[in-house]
Amino acid sequence: MGKRWLFGIAMAGCVSGLLVGTPVKGQAESKAKPGDAARGKTLFVRNCAGCHGAAGEGDGYRLLGPDPANLTAPATKKKSDAELLKTIHNGKPNMPAWKRNLSESQSRDVLAYVRTLGK
């Protein structure tokens, strides 16, 4: 009986930890500090404009495979910050992952600048 009781307590703790630790959709984004678009522009020009173009319209270098994303397109504007940050960190088929070159703060700065494109 003692082992069963201990197991029940342990399971309850695990389940409650999972429930409490699970963010509601959008909750994680709201807690994150916004990036600085001015710093983001500098990083964008240095790292992204070659492919995405100076205005972010996807008119930079074309490699074999998918064309660079038009960051001013409505489809991009509809994406959540979390989706775009994931793309910045992990890359795409023709886009390198920037997680080793940009800090979390720098990635948020780039995202803040991307959000200003096409306005």
Question: What's the pLDDT tens digit per position in 81-119?
Answer: 999 999 999 999 889 999 999 999 999 999 999 999 977
CATH code at position 58: 1.10.760.10
Whether the pLDDT of residue 42 is over 50: the answer is yes
Tell me if 81 is assigned to some domain. yes
pLDDT, position 12: 42
Structural domain that includes position 92: 32-114
pTM given for the model: 0.71
Whether the pLDDT of residue 5 is over 90: the answer is no
Tell me if 10 is assigned to some domain. no
> Cα–chain-centroid distance for residue 105?
11
Q: What is the mean pLDDT of residues 33-58?
A: 95
Tell me if 1 is assigned to some domain. no
Whether the pLDDT of residue 58 is over 70: the answer is yes
Tell me if 105 is assigned to some domain. yes
Q: How many domains is the chain partitioned into structurally? A: 1
pLDDT, position 2: 57
Model pLDDT for residues 59-80, shown as the tens digit of each residue: 998 877 788 999 999 999 999 9
Tell me if 15 is assigned to some domain. no
Tell me if 22 is assigned to some domain. no
Q: What is the DSSP string of the chain?
A: -HHHHHHHHHHHHHHHHHHHHSPPTTHHHHHSPPP-HHHHHHHHHHHTHHHH-TTSSS-S---SSSPPP-TTSHHHHHS-HHHHHHHHHH-BTTB---TTTS-HHHHHHHHHHHTTTT-
Tell me if 17 is assigned to some domain. no
Whether the pLDDT of residue 15 is over 70: the answer is no
pLDDT, position 61: 87
